Each structure stands twice: as C-alpha cells, then as structure tokens.
Structure 1
Amino acid sequence: MSSRQAKELLIYENEMFSLEQSAACPIPGYLILRLKGPEASLAQLSKKTAQLLGVMLKRVTNAIEQAVKPERVYVLSFCEIEPRLHFHLFPRTAWLLKEYFKANDCANDPVNGPMLFEWARSAFGPGSHVPQGTPDMETACGIMRDILK
C-alpha cells in the first residue's frame, strides 16, 4: 500500500491510538483501532489506558453509526495475525445482512455475527463494490474524520 493510500484510509490518530478504514475489506465503516503500545491483551493495559480505550471505542462506534447507519456495530479482537492489541469495528448493515442470508440460505436462522463477519471479509475483498445507495468509502471516511476531530 502506498503512503497516499494509507493516508486516505487513516481516520484518526493520536499518541495512543490509530484508526483506519480496512484496506482488505472495503465495506464503508469497517475500521481497525490499534493501540500504539506493546500490549497484546486487555489484561496488560493500565487502568488509565483501559479507560481511554473505552472512551475511544464509544467515540468510534458513534462515528460509524452516524456515517453508515448500521443496525449493529460488531467489536472484535482476535490478535492472531497481528499480536499487538487491536479491534475490528464492523458495521452490520441491513444490506449486508440481506446479502449474507441470500449467499448462505439461512434467513430463518438467528444471525451468527462471527460467521457473518468472516463471510463479509471474504465476499467483499479489495476491489469489490457495495450496493448503490450505500455511502461510498471516501464519503464515510470523511464523515467519521469530521466526527472524531
């Protein structure tokens, strides 16, 4: 990824956190919040850092909700591929749920958030497009940047 592309994906940054639109899955509002410290677990955070993380997660969720209007915002942390503590904030929108049900023939089943998340990351890889009427990634990123200033 070029430095220009990285700059376009950057939503917010301060001395503790960086927040980026996912480059691997161009669903508007799918953000990755990274802590800048060496911690690999929530248990390793100081009380102050944990409190600031809670405030930041709230602010980011609010920005996603305003920018893309999801029905849910999933907050996930695995730290498997990248061991440093980070969070995926994923907007589960109505259109995404509809596409998931259609692709998996499971409209009568309860929503399985982790499976939907993994399916979406596979189905909407780089270069894929979201349905018409959905905020484009550039617009959504701009709205979220303005909210998080």
Structure 2
Amino acid sequence: MIYKDHEVVIHHCIDVNVPGYLILSPIRHVTAYQDLTQTEIMTIAIILQKVVGILQQISEVEKVYILNLAEETSHFHFHVFPRYSWMIDTLNAELFSDGKLDGAKLFSYYRRENKVDNLQDLSSLDQTIAFIRKRLK
C-alpha cells in the first residue's frame, strides 16, 4: 500500500512490473463510478491530480494514463499507468492503430508483457514506491 485515508487507497499493481503502475480505489465497496459519493469523487479527483503530477516527475515518464475498465473485478477502481519513453517501440505494430500510437493497446500490451508470477519479481519497484509515498505525505 502506498497511501490510504478515509476515502481512498492506492497500491502498486501487484502483478505487473511497470514502475509507478498504481491502482486507486475507494475504501467503500462500490461497483460503478455513479455509486461514489460526492466526497469520494472529490477525494479521488484530488489524489489523482497529485499522483499524476508525482509520476510525471519520474525520469522517462512521458504521459500518465488513467483508466477504468472493470472487467476483472467488480470493485470500482482506476488504473494509473505511466507511459515511459522506453515503451514506444515504433516497430511494434501491436501498439498502433492507423499509424498512430494507441494508448489502450499500449496499456494492454505492457500489462501482458510485464506480468509477474512471483511478488519477489517486483522488488525492483521499491524505489519508485518510496518516491511516490514520500511525495504523497
């Protein structure tokens, strides 16, 4: 866990080795955005703004994607996914649609390609997690 208050929790995605790939969820169980309270919405918005700003301070982060897909779990959450310069492989057709970089495809590709089976494989993320945690205090 990186951050927790009365409304939200942030943790690093535990099965994908992409530094700074975060999951932001409300504490209260809800299944859809429209089920959030005004307070939860405001807290999420403020924390998202802070977290995106922090991620953009990391070397080589060019952009930060914020997604809600809700295909694998019924608890509402946002994926906060940093796009690093090393991710742009112009020779990889899987990342492009109509000759343009496709953020959704990039997200899916790197989630699949950087999946880990063992949490020990994530030990290299400790420095990034500490960087984010320190700036969120």
TM-score, L = length of structure 2? 0.85
Q: Which residue of 24, 28, 42 maps to 1:33? A: 24
Are the equivalent residues in 1 in contact too, given 2:30–2:76 (CA < 8 A)?
A: yes
Quote the residue 1:102 is aligned against. 91
**Structure 1 stretches of 4+ moved >2 Å:** 101-108
Cα RMSD between the aligned structures? 2.1
> Could you tell me which of 6, 11, 17 is aligned with 2:2?
11
Count of residue correspondences: 131
Shift, 1:67, TM fit:
3.1
1:126 and 2:116 are equivalent in the alignment: yes
Closer/same/farther in 2, CA of residues 127 and 11 from structure 1, 3 Å limit: same
- Look up the match of 1:71: 62
1:77-127 C-alpha deviation (Å, 9 max, x unpaired) = 1122111110100001110113xx333376782111111100001111217
Percent identity, please: 24
TM-score, scaled relative to structure 1? 0.79
Structure whose residues are more often strand by fraction:
2
Deviation, structure 1 residue 41 = 1.4
Gaps of 5+ in 2: 119-123
